[in-house]
Structure 1
Amino acid sequence: MSRARDPLHSHPAPATAPAGTALSRSGAAWLTAAGIVLIAFNLRLAISSSSALLEQVRAQLGFGPLVASLVPTLPTLCFAAVGSTSAMLARRVGTEPAVFLALGALCAGLALRGVPHTGALLAGTLLGAAGLAVCNVLLPAVVKAHFPAHVALLTGVYTTTMALGSAVAAAAAVPAADLLGRPSLGLAVWGVPALLALVLWSLRPDSWRAPARRAEGGADSAWRVGRTRFGLLVTAFFALQSLSSYAVIGWLPTILTDHGMSPDRAGLMLGVALVVGVPSTFALLPLTRTGPRLRLAFVVLGASLTAGYLGLLCAPLAVPTLWAVLTGIGLGAFPLVLAIIGGSGHSPQETAALSTFAQSAGYLLASAGPLGLGLARSATGSWALPLLTLLVLAALQLLVGLALTGRRAR
């Protein structure tokens, strides 16, 4: 009898396994893949929707510039703090149950944001970001564990879906809030796709009762993997691209509205910047297979990001769609570094360790971006200094990317 091959899972079913067992394994693999994609769709919804609605929510709740700067900063701080504990949580309860718990926290946080109170907005942002942090860190390990032969493909699919979800939320947040009658409800409505992801993930056989797995290398494995030259370069690159991404997601609509653009069109420009990541992700991911091609990808991304920032600095309303497209292409570094993390290590545990270190340390460094840029805007009354800072950081990101692709990187 020939072996029954699972089209998604890398391991064929044993020849002696009953047909029903093979079918159940195939079904579980498809369910896992669908769950990964739906979770990815939710990974940036909360952040891009709050960015598009920030000025309307601020007018509704009446908070000042400090809280306005905190709203886009709290997610990256939470990603750093909670992300550092994700591997420990996975060891205690299992990776898949940890993702289940994280989705529950995301749903609760998004619902809390619907309460028209500044404290509820901040608390809901923290709770939802905590759920996102765990999913951010553990999804590469889930892909590595369940689909080791298809890491690049699944990474491309879920990062593309993540970009698509972020773009949809950015473009639809203002119209949704107008339809519902309150900006706070426009924030809470994005809990619906999160709830769908929670339900789908709960249908998997090991989503809430998987045994805890012991991580190879012990509790300090993340530090051990992260302090290598390769780990430090990955972390530095992750930090710089995250800072740019969350600066754009957090402030692009405000930059444009400050120059006279309407809020709904400014949200649409953010959607354009984010949706560009959908085709560019699949165009760039094949370049991760060789060092020279990856180097070329980093150069293209760096040049595009620089051009987009220059356009926003010098003539923000001249051709804003072009600036949004160029900036969006430049933000395509995220799937590349995620694919590098997902393809590294000799086991899912080592992958999770590098993911934990790079994301927790990277997001901690990146959190200075949205907060610092917002405070600089408030202090100077202009976006010139924040955009000049982003230009310098884009150049630094390119240099780190070139070092990451060098022969001595690993």
Structure 2
Amino acid sequence: MVSPTARSRAAWLTAAGVVLIALNLRLAISSSAALLEQLRTELEFGPLATSLVPTLPTLCFAAVGATSAMLARRTGTELAILVALAALCTGLAIRAVPHTWALLTGTLLGSAGLALCNVLLPAVIKAHFPGRVALLTGVYTTTMALGSSLAAAAAVPLAELAGHPSLGLAAWLLPALPALAVWALRPVSRQIAPRRSGSGAVSAWAAGRSRFGLLVTAFFTLQILASYVVMGWLPTVLAEHGMSADRAGALLGLALLVGVPSTFALMPLTRTARRLRLAFCIVGCSLMAGYLGLLFAPMALPELWAALTGLGLGAFPLVMTIIGTSGRSARETAALSTFSQSTGYLLASVGPFGIGLLRSATGSWTAPLVILLALAALQLLTGLALTTTSAQPQRTDHNESDKPALIR
């Protein structure tokens, strides 16, 4: 029998591990976005590689996310996260090599590790903190926003200090190592350990094929597409209008930093459908306003456009809370998370790649921003539809607490 002291230590290590993982979830991505122009100059790669750098993370999140449930069933969720963190650290180290192949390979491997963590964290929170899902989701999404903001703002100065943008990218290995160490120190929990039989398995397809699951997936797709386009291209948009690289990176940092207070402000709005509709309107209208500013007057009030765009990216904690509070067990949560995230990232990967190619083909950011504006409007409509749709349980022996927060 496990002593109360051991249980308390395990809980604290788990909570610390979740926070440290969240801190790293976007560091590698937002730092490479801020350094993309310098990397292209130093490594001399063309439009294809330029479009691949911001696209690889979404492709990895789709491919690895689709297999995460199977891997978790075979190894256990917590061991799978440990392997993912090792992959992240290895990928970040590879990116220190100043060659295009190292940049792409390191980004691919690191993104694979991030993808696995991204999909499995909601299940860990559901298993270990079932009564505090919204709180822990808010904490980890806030920490993620802080990390991504820090990386975007500090990437250029750090690369200059290191002497090369590749070394600047590899420097983000330093915060990844503590996450790996803390997670390795945790005792393996039996709560979400692998099962030998298939009786406890929950089909990701079954979780996602309902109207509720499809709407969650559609909303997740649209908001993650917006997030990765902004993280991947906002500094480039501003730089091409004459802004310095360090200021453009700092404004990406501002956009991502806005996610910290917005998360705290938006999380209480997930408790009822009426409040959630207000939250969807706030983030949807803010995102559209930010795009309009970048389209018509990018250099007039760039701080305002960055802040509005960042507030619009607050859709992420909203949908993660919906996923985290859905289902009656960690396995059902993991199934919906797997379906929505793997499908969403696969579809959203078209965004950063397509936007980059469209910019190259048209020679301006007008057409890409118009498309992004239309997608933001579609995201708002999808969110409003989601608030009128209840989850479709796979069993009938549920109670009020089994329902996702938006339909209570």
The TM-score range, normalised by the shorter chain, is over 0.9
Are 2:151 and 1:175 aligned?
no
Amino acid at match of 2:292: L
Residue 286 of structure 1 deviates from its aligned partner by 1.0
CA contact (8 A) 1:97 1:207 kept: no
Aligned to 2:398: none
Aligned runs of 1:221-260 on 2, under 5 Å? 221-260=203-242
SS in 2 for 1:369: helix
SS in 2 for 1:205: coil
CA contact (8 A) 2:202 2:332 kept: no
SS in 2 for 1:295: helix
Equivalents in 2 of 1:390, 1:28: separation in Å? 44
Are 2:60 and 1:71 aligned?
no
Amino acid at match of 1:311: G
Aligned runs of 1:269-288 on 2, under 5 Å? 269-288=251-270
Aligned runs of 1:12-161 on 2, under 5 Å? 21-161=3-143
CA contact (8 A) 1:288 1:336 kept: yes
Equivalents in 2 of 1:130, 1:275: separation in Å? 25
Amino acid at match of 2:65: G
Aligned to 1:164: 146
Partner residue of 2:317 out of 335, 340, 343:
335
After superposition, the C-alpha distances for 1:256-314 in whole angstroms (9 at most, x for unaligned) are 00000000000000000000000100110111110010011001111110100000000
Q: TM-score, normalised by structure 1?
A: 0.93
Please, which runs of 5 or more residues in structure 2 have no aligned partner?
A: 393-408
Tell me the C-alpha RMSD between the 2 structures. 1.5
Aligned runs of 1:194-205 on 2, under 5 Å? 194-205=176-187
Equivalents in 1 of 2:327, 2:152: separation in Å? 35
Partner residue of 1:384 out of 348, 352, 366:
366
Are 2:362 and 1:373 aligned?
no
Q: TM-score, normalised by structure 2?
A: 0.94
Amino acid at match of 1:131: G
Measured at CA, do residues 384 and 325 of structure 1 come closer, stay the same or move farther in structure 2, by a change above 3 Å? Answer: same
% identical aligned pairs:
73
Aligned to 2:281: 299
Aligned to 2:378: 396
Equivalents in 1 of 2:198, 2:280: separation in Å? 32
Equivalents in 1 of 2:198, 2:272: separation in Å? 28
Aligned to 2:334: 352
Equivalents in 2 of 1:181, 1:357: separation in Å? 42
Measured at CA, do residues 131 and 207 of structure 1 come closer, stay the same or move farther in structure 2, by a change above 3 Å? Answer: farther
Aligned to 1:266: 248
**Regions of 4+ moved over 3 Å:** 213-220, 407-410
Please, which runs of 5 or more residues in structure 1 have no aligned partner?
A: 1-16
Aligned to 2:395: none
Amino acid at match of 1:373: I
Residue 213 of structure 1 deviates from its aligned partner by 3.5
Equivalents in 1 of 2:380, 2:9: separation in Å? 42
